[in-house]
Structure 1
Amino acid sequence: MANNSLPLIDIGANLLDKKLYQNIDSIIQKSKSNNVEKIIITSSHIDDTKKAIKLIYKEPNMFCTTVGFHPHNAKDYKDHYYDEMDNMCNLPEVKAIGECGLDYRRNYSRPIDQIYCFRKHLDLASNNNLPMFLHEREAHDDFLILLKEYIHKIENVVVHCFTGSKQELENYLDLGCYIGITGWITDPKRGYHLHDIIKYIPSDKLMIETDSPYLLPFDYPITNKKYNEPSNLIYIMDAISKILKKDKKVLSNEIYNNTYDFFNL
């Protein structure tokens, strides 16, 4: 597949995962070869943000990061972390609050702890005028209640790795949320319903991400089948272009501009 002539931005890659981190030089090289201009390194714990900032020094023009606790890690959140995260929000490397939200599918942290932690992140975003990179799995109702309470105070919100229903999508769009689409859309079983739903996402609310090392795109000539990586963003763009029957250059330009503005890059 020929590379896109326009640059791409991966809004969510877990580059601190061991599989990616230990191969970071190769990850960077392949990403550049496939026109991935920028990568937002997803942080799932305050320790991730510290590690990500060190990694950013390696490629300051390519990498930036988020600050926050994934709902799986909500049990680890303590109030003294708030001030530390608040200070990190002033760093030029930090572009968003997250990955945070609610995940009742696995409940690695108790729902009560997840809700408390999520609320703290909503406060953090509203106090720092930073956008939010959000996670929601099987917790839509509680997630929506909290989001509605804060949405008027928050700069911007993207619901990352959207896999939900048309009604859930409409609920998010009604609040002005952006929507992140991953390689899930290429999965012929789990992701086929998104082929119809994605048509309802306004062109100015769509962004793309690999969620590396997870969600490897299906049915594409990917040489490394062991894990996903940002260089595969071109295949997600290709899949969306075909589903929407939209010129790839036009689509790439729209998504790039959405992302650039959202993260204030």
Structure 2
Amino acid sequence: MNSAHFLIDIGANLTHPELNKKIDVIVDNIKSANIEKVIITSSNTQDTKEALEIISKYPDLFYTTVGFHPHNAKDYSSKDVAEIEAFLNNDKVLALGECGLDFYREYSSKEEQLFCFEQHLEIAKTIKKPIFLHERHAFKDFVDMLKKHKDGLFKYVVHCFTGTKEELKTYIDMGCYIGITGWITDESRGKRLHEIIKYIPEDRLMIETDSPYLIPHNINFKHDGINEPSYLIYVAETIAKCLNKDINYVKDVTIRNTKLFFNINE
């Protein structure tokens, strides 16, 4: 398969009811859009179970993750560690996550989130698989926690990055990979990202849809407002424009980085 003509979506919430109910159509669209692989993001262990059901139908197309999203930290307990570790022994479960901190809405308390996040980092030290990270309005606590546990951690990607130049520099200096979503296609909200994406090293950039959220603003046809992996090309096109690069450059770089980061050898 020629990587110059394909993309990998590192984060799509395909267990979301809006997408899971039409997964066969989603798959047809993915194939038509030359998406080589999609990583189904999990926000709790039930998501992972549902993702593995999807994967059983389409084993050549999908992978998944396992972990508790900060919104779901209130549901996490130390009793979940064994189940998470068992899932991570599955070759189709590529990463730990989505985990991290989100103080924007606080569906779970800060204390619950900090406990859950720290437990995930402890798991990561023993499993040696990448970590799929979420941070929103919690930068200092998030970075402090990562630095506290940096010895023994493997690789991590900050998904859906929308922060400042200074935050980006901190992440890069810490060795983080960076995931870019359709946020960058929003000429208003994504303006800052347009200006600072050039500071992401070529070997740290990955792309994602975060479906069904963050539908690209540069889609040029009528749609239902629900994002899906087949729209990833619109993210790639905007990145290429921001970097003043050819679209195949973005495809080559991101697919190479993704396969190395997640250890995808198929």
Q: TM-score, normalised on structure 1?
A: 0.97
1:41 aligns with 2:40: yes
- The alignment of Structure 1 onto Structure 2 pairs a total of residues equal to 262
Identity %: 52
Identify the residue that residue 69 of structure 2 maps to in structure 1.
Answer: 70
* Counterpart residue number, 1:142: 141
- Are the aligned partners of 2:4 and 2:249 in contact in 1 as well (CA < 8 Å)? no
Partners of 2:150 and 2:32 in 1: CA distance = 38
- Equivalent-residue separation in structure 2 for 1:52 and 1:178 (angstroms): 24
Q: Which residue of structure 2 aligns with residue 111 of structure 1?
A: 110
Alignment of 1:205 onto 2:210:
no
Q: Equivalences for 1:84-233 in 2 at 5 Å?
A: 84-233=83-232
Distance in 2 (alpha carbons) for counterparts of 1:45 and 1:128:
18
Q: How many angstroms does 1:240 deviate by?
A: 0.4
Q: Residue type matched to 2:134 in 1? A: H
The amino acid that maps onto 1:187 is D
Distance 1:88 1:243, change over 3 A: same
State the 1:247 CA deviation.
Answer: 1.4
Secondary structure at 1:61 match in 2: coil
- For the residue of structure 1 that corresponds to 2:257, the secondary structure is helix
Opposite residue 174 of structure 1, the aligned amino acid is: D
TM-score by length of 2: 0.96
Question: Residues 146-194 of structure 1: CA distance to partner in whole angstroms, max 9, x if unpaired?
Answer: 1112223121100000000000001100110000000000111111110
Q: Any runs of at least 4 consecutive aligned residues in structure 1 with deviations exceeding 3 A, and if so which?
A: none
Write the letter of the residue equivalent to 2:141. Answer: D
Q: For residues 132 and 222 of structure 1, what CA distance do their matches in structure 2 show?
A: 35
Match of 2:80 in 1: 81
SS at match of 1:26: helix
Letter in 2 for 1:155: F
Query: Offset of 1:223 from its aligned partner?
Result: 3.6
2:218–2:234 Cα contact (<8 Å) kept? no
Equivalent residue, structure 2, for 1:55: 54
For structure 2, the 5+ residue unaligned runs are none
Distance in 1 between residues matched to 2:84 and 2:93, nearest whole Å: 10
**Residue 18 (1) aligns with residue 14 (2):** no
Q: CA deviation at 1:226?
A: 2.6
Tell me, what secondary structure is at the counterpart of 1:57? helix
When the two chains are superposed, the root-mean-square deviation of aligned CA atoms in Å is 1.0
Shift of 1:225: 2.9
Letter in 1 for 2:89: N
Q: Return the alpha-carbon distance in structure 1 between the equivalents of residues 55 and 116 of structure 2.
A: 26
- Cα 1:99–1:222 shift into 2, 3 Å: farther
Following the alignment from structure 1 to structure 2, what is the Cα–Cα distance between the partners of residues 233 and 115?
32
How far the C-alpha of 1:5 sits from its partner, in A, is 5.0
Q: Deviations over 1:26-81 (max 9, x none)?
A: 10111111111100000001111111111101111110100000000000001110
C-alpha separation in 2, matches of 1:154 and 1:91: 20
CA displacement, residues 7-29 of structure 1 (integer Å, 9 cap, x when unaligned): 11000000001110011011011
Q: Distance in 1 between matches of 2:222 and 2:125?
A: 43
In the aligned structure 1, how far is the partner of 2:221 from the partner of 2:138?
33
Secondary structure at the aligned position of 2:151 is classed as: helix
Task: Give the Cα–Cα distance (whole angstroms) in 2 for the partners of residues 17 and 253 of structure 1.
Answer: 29
SS of the aligned residue for 1:153 comes to coil
